[in-house]
């Protein structure tokens, strides 16, 4: 049973959250760490392969929502692994792990050069910005040659950026000493030009971070059987209660919270996922790939090809060798444990078939293959194999998404729905940056002892890139289960157009009840949008029904005499717990034989 706690507080209480905004760049001549906070995500980014970096604070590097002090990902980095070098079987790795095998700067450069830092631009910046002035075109940073003279002139030319906040840096794996800590292979000889960006938009894009990685083979060797992965260590609040999952139809790997909730996020724990928007290209006659901003015939982009189980321990545990890491990105067992041999394929225990996709069930329905061992997992989505001959380049684009629903499992439904809109935005080259409409609930009943009818009002604002269809807006609703529907009616609310509906009285309500409801809206191409995201699995609720539980009053309870010396300098706290209130409660008191006084809930003291 849900409980409403109304407190009359006579003591001011302040909770201090972790202030990530205080993060500063650390030694710009070597490792550069900056806070990207261009939308609801705030994340520490580094110039050595980490797109979520814990090393600056020793704590989780990604905060969501921004400013909340709540964190969703501990660390994350780019992995590139090759299985063949110059036609010979040999595993080589370059990974952004808990520390990095990458070094700042272009291949063959001095990593201590102060110019190999992170460059940052907002859409509001112009040529007066320092990073605009010093935009590192010599390092490979993209730019627009407005005057066509082949020379970057910040007065006339400009950086070629994406999103509302854009971070650019370059790193490489040519330093052999950086390979010694983890997997101990020779370098691949690659350079990666990193672009990290996002949009301060509404709904799904405001909770998405885009990662664009041109990868260039500048070494002396041809690389084959190459895999690339946006590896991550998600911690949704607490670290030890997060299962993994995947959806092959949407090509997403995700992590969510178990149904018990989280000590930090509470009951509404978000889910975090990673998708491949543009994979490396492989030869495929008759197909067309998209790479470096242009279409390339007779090639295709590889999709997300494998999602590992991501356990910290066990046969699919965290890799300790280069071979184990190479198994990991192929969804093969990393090591021999129990009845599993290193290199064995993944088997779906529900269908008893070999697969490269772990935990493909539906946690919000409790069906299919589910991760029944929530722990401190890793997320290992990967794409490959592909070739990277010396002198060749590939470009991959990933996205990291976060979404929140009514429960931890429903957060997955929201995440998958948002994934569809992010893909729509990407496929349209961000012409369609938003879903069909923006919905704001402007008026609804507060928790009430009534059984209805309930009057709900929504502001529904179409986005400019969409044209709405002729079908009326629909609301679907029901007590505890959604079983009825009605059309919304256009009205004027506070001087602006809005849409309203009367939900009829709910029959046979004998106890506290939840009214579930969601909206369905159509564009003219029959694209259907649900509000909130993830509906019909996710929904909004309104708690109603007769209050059959007497309020519980504590601190103090009943009637007591309180004696204090004048001047009065003490504070009294009164707390009332109840399922719901039909009206706002008041605290009443007398001083001596004086008149009765009262106060409404809030931070009051007397």
Q: What is the pLDDT of residues 433-483, one digit of tens each?
A: 777 788 889 877 766 777 888 889 999 888 777 778 788 899 999 887 778
Q: Phi-psi category of 305—alpha, beta or left, where left has phi over 0 and alpha has psi -120 to 50?
A: alpha
CA atoms within 13 A on the CB side of 10: 14
Residue of higher predicted confidence among 317 and 307: 307
Give me the residue label for tokens 């295709």: 300
Alpha-carbon gap, residue 320 to 318, rounded angstroms: 7
The model's pLDDT over 139-191, given as tens digits with 9 standing for 90+, comes to 999 999 999 999 999 999 999 999 999 999 999 999 999 998 889 999 999 99
φ, ψ of residue 233 to 5 degrees: the values are -120, 85
Bin 108: left if φ > 0, else alpha if -120 < ψ < 50, else beta: left
CA angle 378, 382, 385 (to 5 degrees): 150
Compute the distance between CA of residue 293 and CA of residue 316 in angstroms, rounded to an integer: 37
Burial class of residue 24, CB neighbours in 10 A (0-12, 13-18, 19+): exposed
Whether 443 and 455 have beta carbons less than 8 Å apart is answered as yes
Mean pLDDT comparison of 128-132, 179-183, 509-513, highest-scoring range: 128-132
Which residues contact residue 585 at a Cβ distance below 8 angstroms, ignoring those fewer than 6 apart? 6, 551, 576, 601
Helical residues (DSSP H) of 71-178, grouped into ranges: 130-133
Instruction: Return the number of other C-beta atoms located less than 10 Å from residue 286's C-beta.
Output: 7
Q: What is the pLDDT of residue 393?
A: 97
Whether a cis peptide bond, with omega within 30° of 0, leads into 532 is yes
DSSP state of 147: T
3-state helix, strand, coil in the chain (%, to 5): 10, 40, 50
**Distance separating alpha carbons of residues 580 and 543, to the nearest angstrom:** 8
Q: Which of 233, 494, 510 is nearest to 375 (CA)?
A: 233
Query: How many whole angstroms separate alpha carbon 452 and alpha carbon 450?
Result: 5
Residues facing residue 517 across a β-bridge? 477, 540
Alpha-carbon gap, residue 415 to 73, rounded angstroms: 15
* DSSP label of 54: -
Which region among 83-92, 354-363, 371-380 has the lowest average model confidence (pLDDT)? 371-380
Handedness of CA 172, 175, 178, 183 (dihedral sign): positive
Counting every residue written for the chain, the total comes to 606
Q: How far out from the chain centre does Cα 23 lie?
A: 21
What is this structure's pTM? 0.82
Average pLDDT of 369-391? 93
Which segment of 8-17, 121-130, 190-199, 260-269 scores lowest on mean pLDDT?
Answer: 8-17
174 in Cβ contact with 187 (< 8 Å): yes
From residue 90, alpha-carbon distances to 85, 236, 326, 329 in Å are: 6, 37, 11, 16
User: Mind listing the pLDDT tens digit for each residue in 90-115?
Assistant: 999 999 999 899 999 999 999 899 99
């Amino acid at each position: 049973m849900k409980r409403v706690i109304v407190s009359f507080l006579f003591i001011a209480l302040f909770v201090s959250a972790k202030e990530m905004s205080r993060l500063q760049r650390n030694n710009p001549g070597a490792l550069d760490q900056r806070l990207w906070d261009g939308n609801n995500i705030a994340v520490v980014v580094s110039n050595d392969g980490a797109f979520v970096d814990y090393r600056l604070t020793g704590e989780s590097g990604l905060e969501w929502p921004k400013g909340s002090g709540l964190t969703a990902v501990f660390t994350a980095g780019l992995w590139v692994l090759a299985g063949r070098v110059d036609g010979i079987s040999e595993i080589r790795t370059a990974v952004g792990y808990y520390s990095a095998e990458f070094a700042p700067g272009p291949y063959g450069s001095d990593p201590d050069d102060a110019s190999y830092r992170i460059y940052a631009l907002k859409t509001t910046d112009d040529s007066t910005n320092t990073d605009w002035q010093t935009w590192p075109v010599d390092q490979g940073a993209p730019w627009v040659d407005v005057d066509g003279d082949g020379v970057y002139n910040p007065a006339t030319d400009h950086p070629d950026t994406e999103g509302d906040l854009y971070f650019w840096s370059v790193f490489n794996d040519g330093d052999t000493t950086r390979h010694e800590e983890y997997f101990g292979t020779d370098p691949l000889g690659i350079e990666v030009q990193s672009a990290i960006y996002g949009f301060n938009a509404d709904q799904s894009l405001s909770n998405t971070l885009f990662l664009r990685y041109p990868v260039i083979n500048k070494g002396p060797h041809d690389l084959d059987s190459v895999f690339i992965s946006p590896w991550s260590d998600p911690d949704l609040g607490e670290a030890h209660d997060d299962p993994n999952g995947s959806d092959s139809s949407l090509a997403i790997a995700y992590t969510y919270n178990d149904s018990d909730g989280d000590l930090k996020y509470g009951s509404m724990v978000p889910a975090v996922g990673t998708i491949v928007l543009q994979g490396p290209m492989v030869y495929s006659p008759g197909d067309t790939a998209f790479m470096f901003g242009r279409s390339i015939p007779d090639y295709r982009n590889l999709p997300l090809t494998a999602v590992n189980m991501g356990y910290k321990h066990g046969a699919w545990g965290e890799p300790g060798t280069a071979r184990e890491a190479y198994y990991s990105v192929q969804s093969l067992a990393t090591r021999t444990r129990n009845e599993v041999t290193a290199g064995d394929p993944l088997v779906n225990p529900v269908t008893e078939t070999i697969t490269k996709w772990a935990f493909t069930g539906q946690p919000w329905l409790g069906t299919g293959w589910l991760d029944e061992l929530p722990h401190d997992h890793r997320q290992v989505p990967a794409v490959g194999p592909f070739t990277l001959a010396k002198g060749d380049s590939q470009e991959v684009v990933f996205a990291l998404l976060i979404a929140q629903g009514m429960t931890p499992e429903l957060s997955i439904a929201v995440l998958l729905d948002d994934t569809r809109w992010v893909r729509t935005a990407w496929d349209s080259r961000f012409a369609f940056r938003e879903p069909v409409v923006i919905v704001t609930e402007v008026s609804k009943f507060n928790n009430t002892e009534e059984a209805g009818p309930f009057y709900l009002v929504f502001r529904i604002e179409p986005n400019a890139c969409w044209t709405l269809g002729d079908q009326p807006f629909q609301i679907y609703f029901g007590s505890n289960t959604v079983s009825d529907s009605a059309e919304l009616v256009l009205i004027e609310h506070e001087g602006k157009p809005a849409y309203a509906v009367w939900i009829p009285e709910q029959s046979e309500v004998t106890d506290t009840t939840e009214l579930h409801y969601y909206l369905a809206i159509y564009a003219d191409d029959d694209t259907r949008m649900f509000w909130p995201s993830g509906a019909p699995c996710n929904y909004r609720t309104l708690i109603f029904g007769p209050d059959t539980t007497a309020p519980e009053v504590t601190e103090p309870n009943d009637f007591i005499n309180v004696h204090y010396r004048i001047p009065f300098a003490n504070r009294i706290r009164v707390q009332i717990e109840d399922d719901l209130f039909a009206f706002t409660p008041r605290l009443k008191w007398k001083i001596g034989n004086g008149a009765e006084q009262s106060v409404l809930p809030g931070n009051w003291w007397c």
